[in-house]
Amino acid sequence: MISAWSAADVRAAEEPLLVAGVPLMERASFALATVVAGDLRARRRSVRGAGVALLVGAGNNGGDALHAGAVLAGRGAAVTAVLTSERFHAGGRAALTRAGGRVVELFVAPDRLGAVVRDVAASDGVLDGLVGIGARGPLRGPAADLVTALRRAAGETGAAPWVVAVDVPSGIGVDDGAVAGPVLPADRTVTFGCAKPGLLLPPAALLAGEVSAVDLGLGLEGAPAVRRLEAADVARSWPVPGPADHKYTRGVVGVVAGTATYPGAAVLTATAAVRAGAGMVRYRGSGDVGRVVVGARPEVVAAPGRVQSWVVGPGVPAGPEAADAGADDGQHERGRAGLAAAAGRLAGTAGGPVPAVVDAGGLDLLDDRVPPWFVLTPHAGELTTLLRSRGEDVRREDVDAEPLRWARRAHELTGATVLLKGGVTVVVGPGGAYAQADGPGWLATAGAGDVLAGVLGAMLAARSAEVVEHPARAAEVAAAAALVHGRAAHGTNPGGPVAALDVADAVPREIAGLLSS
Ligand SMILES: NC(=O)C1=CN([C@@H]2O[C@H](COP(=O)(O)OP(=O)(O)OC[C@H]3O[C@@H](n4cnc5c(N)ncnc54)[C@H](O)[C@@H]3O)[C@@H](O)[C@H]2O)[C@@H](O)CC1
Ligand SMILES: Nc1ncnc2c1ncn2[C@@H]1O[C@H](COP(=O)(O)OP(=O)(O)O)[C@@H](O)[C@H]1O
Ligand SMILES: [K+]
């Protein structure tokens, strides 16, 4: 698991160590230099003679870059620091100069920007130490001008040096992952003490490259702000069936999905639930669609009975589209019944409350407030519609710009756990926030969301009672489903296009791989 803490939490954890005289900056900068040296060796075989540019801001982030530059200069690199502010870390500058590094004071001669950009762009490696966790808002002043010019130069020539961000890519929203101004995209981020939320959250996470964390021995307390599950976390908590299990302990998934116009979604969802290890999949939508589903997957039972999780809505048209179509094959009514059962409102006839996955058209069927063991799985457009229907003045671009904020708002407004799909999938529930980046861009294909709904339905059915009793776990299960789904997409056709049904078909092998590693 990768855990990210806010800038304020990191500062609070650093404080006692600094008071005790622990040399945090020396440790951080030495570790940074070691990583950069490894990259330089991998890319050009030697540190000696490598051209390294340091982009240096006013604070300790610039200090880290300067000290790391001094270590690299000591190993024979040709290091040039570009100072963007009249304030800089004096000790770092002195160390760099002593080690033979050069300093360019961009802040006194902004007309040298063009020459500086050419030199930086021609170097073997760039350390971005403009701002770190002390940043206030988007980059401004000479730092902003420098990054804007470097980005333009990269766009024009196509040649971009290897960029290592110091702690975070300068200018990202450290705590919220926002990108409100110019940011130099990094190939790697060396982050100190622990990951920061902006390194996991979109859109900033897409600018961080590979993230390496340097342990500074910070005693971070309390829950992390954002988590990212890794394969081992998912494997550890997977409910592997034993000799005493039978199909009902494994979990029965009830599916209300698809219509006569969109039967494929029902096939994809049911197939994914079967493939992800459900004890049984019951198709509870309309009979016409049910025949298609059973034709495709003979394991599916199209009859009423016990259900340990519901999946409602894939391929079911939402509001206006449903009205235009004239009919929804009765799926809205069946979906409402499934959701009422999941909320525990039909107790006596359908057993106690159970988790539910609510996707696509199912989102239209929700009561104002729903239990936290309901996992809503909108993409950004659907989340926007959901929020607007609850009085929020929000546009799709706002959701794209601040996915965590708006997923959290939807959680607050509905009470549900919310999984917001995207290149980085963000989950928010009573158990906290997760950001998963497991799937390739190829996964952005029609039907992939239906597959995710089926996988998640099976995973929730296997932990039905546990999730209802401890709804904080719903977010973790949802994040785990995103991980399995994304990795299955990779496994389907590494490096090339994937089809949604192939992703579902790759799920069993992916789960076996997780459990055996
Ligand atoms: N506290 C510590 O002892 C440690 C801090 N470390 C480093 O120190 C960093 C934090 O240092 P600071 O608190 O000095 O803060 P930063 O170095 O992140 O930046 C603050 C400085 O940047 C300027 N600035 C703020 N927002 C700006 C913007 N939008 N555009 C342009 N300039 C802006 C301000 O003038 C301020 O002086 C961490 O990110 C990490 O790199 C590490 O060395 C580990 C130990
Ligand atoms: N750029 C991307 N990189 C990786 N995965 C993505 C990307 N864009 C979307 N996805 C994933 O693809 C799936 C698309 O789901 P969705 O939008 O519901 O499509 P559909 O409704 O056609 O099934 C989601 O799981 C989402 O997280
Ligand atoms: K930085």
Contacts of 320 (CB under 8 A, 6+ apart): none
Supply the pLDDT for residue 158.
77
Contact between 450 and 316 (Cβ < 8 Å): no
Are residues 165 and 311 located together in one domain of the fold? no
| Residue 222 pLDDT level (bands cut at 50, 70, 90) | confident
Report the C-alpha gap between 31 and 471 in whole angstroms: 40
Given 228, 249, 279, which residue is the final one in a domain?
228
Contact between 29 and 67 (Cβ < 8 Å): yes
Lowest model confidence (mean pLDDT) among 72-76, 316-320, 359-363, 453-457: 316-320
Supply the pLDDT for residue 325.
56
Give the ligand 1 atom nearest the CA of 62: 17
Whether the pTM exceeds 0.90: the reply is yes
Q: Domain of residue 397: give its range.
A: 231-516
Supply the pLDDT for residue 77.
98
Query: pLDDT by residue (tens digit) across 453-501?
Result: 999 999 999 999 999 999 999 999 999 999 999 999 999 999 999 999 9
User: Candidates 60, 71, 82, 166: which one to mutate for ligand 1, based on the most atoms within 8 Å of Cβ?
Assistant: 60
Are residues 134 and 66 located together in one domain of the fold? yes
User: Candidates 14, 24, 30, 61: which one to mutate for ligand 1, based on the most atoms within 8 Å of Cβ?
Assistant: 61
- At residue 194's C-alpha, the angle toward residues 192 and 196, to 5°, is 95
Q: Is the CB of 450 under 6 A from ligand 2?
A: yes
Instruction: Please tell me the residue having the least CA distance from ligand 2 atom 5.
Output: 423
**Over residues 327-354, mean pLDDT:** 84
pLDDT over threshold 80, residue 32: yes
Return phi, psi of residue 164, to 5°.
-115, 120
Query: pLDDT by residue (tens digit) across 370-380?
Result: 999 999 999 99
Report the C-alpha gap between 276 and 114 in whole angstroms: 56
SS (H, E, C) 244-270: CCCHHHHCEEEEECCCCCCHHHHHHHH
pLDDT over threshold 90, residue 151: yes
Are residues 263 and 374 located together in one domain of the fold? yes
ipTM above 0.90, yes or no: yes
Spacing, Cα 443 to ligand 2 middle (Å)? 6
> Cis ω on the peptide bond leading into residue 203 (within 30° of 0)?
yes
- At residue 405's C-alpha, the angle toward residues 399 and 406, to 5°, is 45
Are residues 160 and 173 located together in one domain of the fold? yes
**Over residues 166-177, mean pLDDT:** 98
| Residue 348 pLDDT level (bands cut at 50, 70, 90) | low
Are residues 171 and 65 located together in one domain of the fold? yes
| Residue 123 pLDDT level (bands cut at 50, 70, 90) | very high
Are residues 73 and 194 located together in one domain of the fold? yes
pLDDT over threshold 80, residue 79: yes
Are residues 308 and 213 located together in one domain of the fold? no
| Residue 60 pLDDT level (bands cut at 50, 70, 90) | very high
Supply the pLDDT for residue 290.
96
**Ligand that lies nearest to the alpha carbon of residue 145, given by its number in the listed order:** 1
CATH number for the domain that contains residue 67: 3.40.50.10260
**Over residues 156-176, mean pLDDT:** 93
Interstrand relation of 417-420 and 425-429 (parallel, antiparallel or unpaired): antiparallel
Interstrand relation of 226-228 and 210-214 (parallel, antiparallel or unpaired): unpaired
Supply the pLDDT for residue 56.
98
Supply the pLDDT for residue 485.
98
Given 206, 228, 250, which residue is the final one in a domain?
228
Q: Is the CB of 425 under 6 A from ligand 2?
A: yes
Supply the pLDDT for residue 346.
78
Query: pLDDT by residue (tens digit) across 407-460?
Result: 999 999 999 999 999 999 999 999 899 999 999 999 999 999 999 999 999 999
Contacts of 45 (CB under 8 A, 6+ apart): none
| Residue 221 pLDDT level (bands cut at 50, 70, 90) | confident
Supply the pLDDT for residue 320.
65
Are residues 283 and 404 located together in one domain of the fold? yes
Locus of tokens 């999946």: 311
pLDDT above 70 coverage of the chain, percent: 98
Under DSSP, the state recorded for 442 is: G
Are residues 274 and 217 located together in one domain of the fold? no
pLDDT over threshold 60, residue 350: no
Contact between 149 and 76 (Cβ < 8 Å): no
Supply the pLDDT for residue 160.
81
Supply the pLDDT for residue 394.
98
Share the mean pLDDT of the chain. 95
Contact between 363 and 420 (Cβ < 8 Å): no
Are residues 136 and 65 located together in one domain of the fold? yes
Supply the pLDDT for residue 155.
86
Contact between 135 and 144 (Cβ < 8 Å): no
Lowest model confidence (mean pLDDT) among 60-64, 159-163, 227-231: 159-163
pLDDT over threshold 90, residue 324: no
Cα 207 to the center of its chain, rounded Å: 13
Supply the pLDDT for residue 359.
98
Are residues 186 and 239 located together in one domain of the fold? no
Single-letter code of the amino acid located at 490: H
Are residues 51 and 161 located together in one domain of the fold? yes
- The domain tally of the chain equals 2
CATH number for the domain that contains residue 404: 3.40.1190.20
Nearest Cα residue to 95 out of 72, 128, 78: 72
Ligand 1 is surrounded, with C-beta below 6 A, by 14, 18, 24-25, 28, 57-62, 64, 131-141, 143, 166-167, 192
Report the C-alpha gap between 309 and 465 in whole angstroms: 10
Supply the pLDDT for residue 327.
56
**Over residues 140-165, mean pLDDT:** 92
Supply the pLDDT for residue 211.
96
Given 228, 248, 274, which residue is the final one in a domain?
228
**Over residues 233-238, mean pLDDT:** 95
| Residue 318 pLDDT level (bands cut at 50, 70, 90) | confident
Element of type H or E holding 399 = helix 396-401
**Ligand that lies nearest to the alpha carbon of residue 59, given by its number in the listed order:** 1
3-state secondary structure of 157: helix
Query: pLDDT by residue (tens digit) across 103-116?
Result: 999 999 889 999 99
Dihedral sign of CA atoms 144, 34, 52, 39 in order: negative
Report the C-alpha gap between 453 and 444 in whole angstroms: 15
Contact between 30 and 68 (Cβ < 8 Å): yes
